[in-house]
Structure 1
Amino acid sequence: MKSILESLQGGLVVSCQAPTDSPLHHPAAIAAMAEAALNQGAVGVRIDTPDHIQAVRARCGGHPQAPRGKHPIIGLWKQVMPPSEVYITPQFHQAAAVAQAGSDIIAIDATQRPRPGGETLGQLIQQIHERLGQVVMADVDTLDNALIAIDAGADCVGTTLFGYTQETQAEKPPGFDLLKAMVQRCAVPVICEGGIASPEQARQALELGAYAVVVGTAITGIDSLVQRYVGAMTAGKLFP
């Protein structure tokens, strides 16, 4: 587990995801994104859903620059299960599917919001460690939740959910103040994720002590990026 985390240190992890209504939300497209990212120096990728993880593992696992474990796959499975607000790998059976598909690290929602099925955070992390033998990345929104996740056994913590929970909805990522506080207080690697929109911000995150930086939309979010460009260019209708 330690060597898997060490392979991320100081590097860029690219989140290769796409909206479910996008043509890019297809295993082959996601795998191509992942290979392109690794070819250009990313130290790992973050992938949603077992099908996409399996495709990335098949395409990149034998890559000469990306043997399994050297450039890890951070796997997760987003599942909306009302009334719970927890949706990033909320239960063990989703974590098991992610592991079977080929992940090296499993990302989970580690906020203190009620989990579907009543499973506690500590129980989920323990099962992932003991039954799957996988590293756990705890996605959190606050320093308190990061510390609770570490006490529950998380191997690393990420600022992923800052700005996306009721407690932090008034905040806008990236959460650099949260990052600094977590770096100072957390005894495990702290990964900066969420809202990184430029290479300069990614560098700033490392300078603030981030162990690694995850970037998604700014690199792979073709759908939202095109929408922004088109929206700006058509605002005011300069042409008939």
Structure 2
Amino acid sequence: MPAALITGASAGLGAEFAHQLAARGADLVLVARGADALERLATELRRAHGVHIEVLTADLAVEEEVQRVAERVADAAHPIDLLVNNAGFGLPLQFADNDIDDEVRHLRVHVEASMRLMHAAIRAMRGRGGRIINVASVAGFISRSTYSACKAWLIGFSRWANAEYARDGVSVTALCPGFTHTSFHERMGLPAGQEGVPALMWLDAPQVVREGLRDAARGRAVSIPSLRYKLIVALAGLLPPALTSRVARRGRV
């Protein structure tokens, strides 16, 4: 039976990945900081789908805890077939006004932890095959403080790694949703619907995850859910960064 390891699994897109993969019969390793939320989710999925669930609590801003997760990814006795790098959080866009320690933690979770887990996964998957999904964002295609920069790194690396390791049977996909109804905004104190973003621009988490899993199965390097966001990304590539930066100050993706 295939097995998937999901970071940031206790809520949002991570929890949706867990629900959809468990419904497909996959065993899961759920990773997040909050043990109680993970245990509740694990209990629900075991009862609903009869799959094997491991719970691994870890703060991915802490190097030693990232190493524990990487060791689980690399465990040849219990192989991981799909790694979902989903853990992350947002910060206010005013970089100079933010605490630099918060910015460093933000970078570690989004980029360094993802890189370390991908390194472990690719080494373990080479030859036998496997998939990696990096949850990025359409923000990675525009100028938008350090959140945009982190997501741009994930997109760029996913594109390269997907081409480089295809011959080893490993696919790497950057999933790039736009505004999506999850608890991500609420954790920042920005409830969905209070960001000046039209209702048309919001996506549902089940749709985002379904399209991400589908594109990963097809070996695509980048997955942008919905036609409207595909068009927005194409347009953003034609506009000057100063203009996209001004537009991007509204809302969160």
Q: Please give the range of the TM-score, normalised by the shorter of the 2 chains.
A: 0.3 to 0.5
As a proportion of its length, which structure holds more helix?
Answer: 2
Give TM-score, length-normalised by structure 1.
0.38
Give TM-score, length-normalised by structure 2.
0.36
